[in-house]
Amino acid sequence: MRTRPHFSAEDLLARLQARCTTALAALSLGLALGSAAQAETVLVSNEKGNSITILDGDSLKVLHTVPVGQRPRGIVLSKDRKFLYICASDDDQIDVLDLDNLQLNAPLPSGHDPETFALHPDGEHLYVSNEDSSLVSIVDIATRQVVGEIAVGVEPEGMAVSPDGKWIVNTSETTNMAHFLDNATHTVVANVLVDSRPRHAEWTSDGKEVWVSSEIGGTVSVIDGATHRIIHKISFAVPGIPKQAIQAVGIVLTRDRKLAFVALGPSNRVAVIDARTYGVIKYLLVGQRVWNLAFNSDESRLFTTNGVSDDISVIDVRKLRVIKSVTVGDQPWGVVVRP
Partner 1 sequence: MMRHRHLALAILCLLPRLAVAAPPGADPGWPCRQPLVTSVSAAMIWDGPPLDHIGDWRSEPAVSALVAKLASEDVSIDAGKAAIARFLRSRLANRRRSISRAFAGLLEESNQARMRAIDDIEMLGQRQRSLADVIAGLTAEKDKAGASAAPDLVERWNFARQTYYQAQRTILYACEMPAGLDQRLGVFARELRAGLP
Region binding partner 1 by CB under 8 A among candidate stretches 50-58, 70-78, 142-150, 233-241? 233-241
Question: Is 245 a binder of partner 1 (CB under 8 A)?
Answer: yes
> What is the total count of residues that contact partner 1 (CB under 8 A)?
24
Long-range CB pairs of 307-314 (<8 Å, 24+ gap) are 307/47, 307/331, 307/332, 307/333, 308/266, 311/287, 312/42, 312/44, 312/55, 312/287, 313/270, 313/286, 313/287, 314/60
Of 104 and 238, CB closest to partner 1: 238
Rounded CA-CA distance 260/253 in Å is 4
Question: Is 244 a binder of partner 1 (CB under 8 A)?
Answer: yes
Site string for partner 1, 175-214 (x = CB under 8 A): ---------------------xx-----------------
Among 308, 316, 317, 320, binds partner 1 (CB under 8 A): 308
Question: Is 296 a binder of partner 1 (CB under 8 A)?
Answer: no
Q: How far is the CB of 61 from partner 1 (least distance, A)?
A: 20
Among 240, 277, 318, 319, binds partner 1 (CB under 8 A): 240
Question: Is 309 a binder of partner 1 (CB under 8 A)?
Answer: yes
Rounded CA-CA distance 117/338 in Å is 17
Question: Is 157 a binder of partner 1 (CB under 8 A)?
Answer: no
Of 134 and 288, CB closest to partner 1: 288
- DSSP SS3 for 250: coil
Question: Is 268 a binder of partner 1 (CB under 8 A)?
Answer: yes
Rounded CA-CA distance 223/189 in Å is 14
Of 114 and 287, CB closest to partner 1: 287
Side-by-side strand order, sheet with 187-193? 156-161, 167-172, 177-182, 187-193
Question: Is 266 a binder of partner 1 (CB under 8 A)?
Answer: yes
Rounded CA-CA distance 201/214 in Å is 10
- DSSP SS3 for 118: strand
Q: How far is the CB of 324 from partner 1 (least distance, A)?
A: 13
Question: Is 230 a binder of partner 1 (CB under 8 A)?
Answer: no
Q: What are phi and psi of 274, to 5 degrees?
A: -75, 110
Q: Which sign, positive or negative, has the C-alpha torsion 315, 81, 88, 218? A: negative
Q: Which residues bind partner 1 (CB under 8 A)?
A: 196-197, 215-216, 238-242, 244-245, 247, 265-268, 285, 287-289, 307-310
